[in-house]
Chain A
Amino acid sequence: MFKKDISPGSKSKVKSSVQRSLRTQLTTTYPLLAPHIDEIVPKKEQLDAMKIPDRVTLYLIGSTPLFYQHMTDLLLPHLRLVHRFPTCFPSIRIDRGAIRFVLSGATLMAPGLTSAGGRLPTGNSEETRKYGETAVEGEGFYGGRELEPGEPVVVCAEGKVEACAVGLLSMGTKEVKEKGKGPVVEDAHYLGDGLWKLALGD
C-alpha cells in the first residue's frame, strides 16, 4: 500500500467527538489495547489527522504516528506504535527466509508461516496468555484463538524482537494451516515503506 515514498500532507485537527469515537473503535478492535488507551490517546490530547495518498488517513499526536485507516476500514496501528506496545495486537510470526521479501513489500505467503520458523495461533481458544509472553519452549506466544480473514494482524519475524509488518489477513489462520499456500497478508505496512519513512517532524 505504501511502496512509494509519501510526502507529508496537511494536518487537520480531529473533532473531540470523533476522537472519542475513535477511542471506542480502537478498544473494540484491539481489546488488549484497552488498558493502555489512555496512554496512547490521552483524553485531553489533540489528535491530528493527516491525509495521505490512496485515501488513507493517518492519525497522530504531535509527531507520533498512531494509527492509519484506509477509507473507513479498520484502524491499523502504525509500526512505531506496535513497537511501543508489542503485546497488544494479535500477531503471527514468519520464518527468517521470508523477512527480506516482506521488507521489500511482497505479499506475505503461507509457506513463510507454516515452516519451522513460522508461528501461528495454536487454535486453542481456551488459552488466555498474553501475546509475546514466553511459552514453555522459550518461544514467544502467538495467540490461542484462530484469526479470521479480514482481521488485523501484526507480523513478527523469526529471531527478531520487533514486528516487521502490519496488515489485514486475507486468509484465516486455520485455512493457512490447512492449505499451506497462497497469499495471507496483502498490502501490508512494513518496515521501511513510505508510511514508515514519512517525515512527521514539525
Chain B
Amino acid sequence: MAEVEGAETPIGPTEPQSRHIVYCGVCSLPPEYCEFGGTVKKCQDWLQSIHPDLYNRIWSADALEAATSSLSVEARKRAEKDAHKKALKAEAAEAKQAATIASSKVIIKRVERNKRKFVTAVSGLEAFGLDNKKVAKDFGKKFATGSSVTKIPSGGEEIVVQGDVSDEIEEFLLENYKVIPEDNIELVESKVKKGSGSG
C-alpha cells in the first residue's frame, strides 16, 4: 500500500514556484517581524498604506492577543521594555543622521591646473550617503570627461572632474540626488585661481 502511494505522488511538485514575499519597506524584515525591529510605528504606517490586508492580519487585536497571551506577565514586561529601548535607539540614530545631513555641506571647488585650464573638485558627498565612486562615474558619463576619486591630504576623498563644470555639477546634483538640499551646496572659486586670473 505504501509503495503504491509512493508511486502515485511525484518526488517533487511538478511546478515548483518560489513564494513571493513582501518585505517591510521601512525595516526590510518580513512584516510579521517588524515588532522586533525598533521602528514599529513607522512599519505599521507603511504596511497599512501599502498592504492593508496584511496589516489587518498581523496587527489586528486578535492576533496581538494570541501572540502575547502565551508569555508570562513578567516576560511580557521585559519584552516591552526592551522594545521601547530599541525604539529609542533607532530614533536617536535617525535624529543624528538628520543632524549630520543638515550640518554638512557639499563643496564644489574650481581649481586651476595650468593657467587657463581647470579641474573641479567635489567633496562632502559621503555625508549624504552617496558613494563617491558611483557619483564619479555618473559625472564622467554626464560631462564626458575624466572623473576620478582621489584621496586628499587632509584625509577623506574627493571627486576630481576635468574641466570647469562647477555650475553644471551643482545643477546635476540637485536634479539627480534629491537627498542634498540646495542650501547645502557650496561653490568655491579657489583663491589661487583669482590671483592667476588677474595676473
Residue ranges of A at the interface with B (Cβ–Cβ < 8 Å)? 34-36, 39-40, 80, 83-86, 95-97, 99-100, 103, 116-117, 158-162, 164, 191-192, 196-197
CB distance from B46 to the nearest CB of A (A): 16
- Give 30 pairs: A residue, B residue, CB < 8 Å, sorted on A: A34-B12, A35-B11, A35-B12, A36-B12, A39-B16, A39-B18, A80-B21, A83-B19, A83-B30, A84-B20, A85-B18, A86-B19, A96-B70, A97-B71, A97-B79, A99-B33, A99-B36, A100-B82, A100-B83, A116-B70, A158-B70, A159-B70, A160-B30, A161-B30, A162-B21, A162-B33, A164-B33, A191-B29, A192-B27, A196-B29
**Extra inter-chain contacts (17) besides given A161-B30, A192-B37, CB under 8 Å:** A34-B11, A34-B12, A36-B12, A36-B16, A80-B21, A85-B18, A96-B70, A97-B75, A99-B36, A100-B82, A116-B70, A159-B66, A159-B67, A160-B33, A161-B32, A192-B27, A192-B33
CB distance from A74 to the nearest CB of B (A): 22
Q: Which chain B residues lie closer than 8 Å to A100 at the CB level?
A: 36, 79, 82-83
CB distance from A197 to the nearest CB of B (A): 7
CA of A80 to CA of B29, assembled, Å: 10
Whether B28 lies near A196 (C-beta < 8 A) is: yes
Whether B71 lies near A84 (C-beta < 8 A) is: no
Whether B67 lies near A96 (C-beta < 8 A) is: yes
CB distance from A142 to the nearest CB of B (A): 18
Q: Which of B18, B29, B66 contacts A192 (CB 8 A)?
A: B29
CB distance from B197 to the nearest CB of A (A): 42
Closest 10 CB pairs of A and B: A35-B12, A84-B18, A162-B30, A36-B16, A103-B36, A83-B21, A160-B32, A191-B29, A159-B67, A100-B36
Q: How many residues of B contact A (CB 8 A)?
A: 25
Q: Which chain B residues lie closer than 8 Å to A103 at the CB level?
A: 33, 36
The reply to whether the CB of B13 lies closer than 8 angstroms to some CB of chain A is yes
CA of A103 to CA of B30, assembled, Å: 12
Interface residues of B in 91-146 (CB under 8 A from A): none
Whether B12 lies near A191 (C-beta < 8 A) is: no
Whether B70 lies near A95 (C-beta < 8 A) is: yes
Whether B30 lies near A191 (C-beta < 8 A) is: yes
Q: Which of A100, A160, A161, A197: most chain B Cβ within 10 A?
A: A100
CA of A97 to CA of B72, assembled, Å: 9
CA of A103 to CA of B37, assembled, Å: 9
Whether B67 lies near A35 (C-beta < 8 A) is: no
The 0/1 profile, CB within 8 Å of A marked 1, for residues 146-164 of chain B is 0000000000000000000
CB distance from B59 to the nearest CB of A (A): 13
CA of A80 to CA of B23, assembled, Å: 10
CA of A103 to CA of B36, assembled, Å: 7
CA of A73 to CA of B66, assembled, Å: 40
Interface residues of B in 20-46 (CB under 8 A from A): 20-21, 27-30, 32-33, 36-37
CA of A18 to CA of B27, assembled, Å: 35
CB distance from A128 to the nearest CB of B (A): 9
CB distance from A140 to the nearest CB of B (A): 14
CA of A49 to CA of B123, assembled, Å: 32
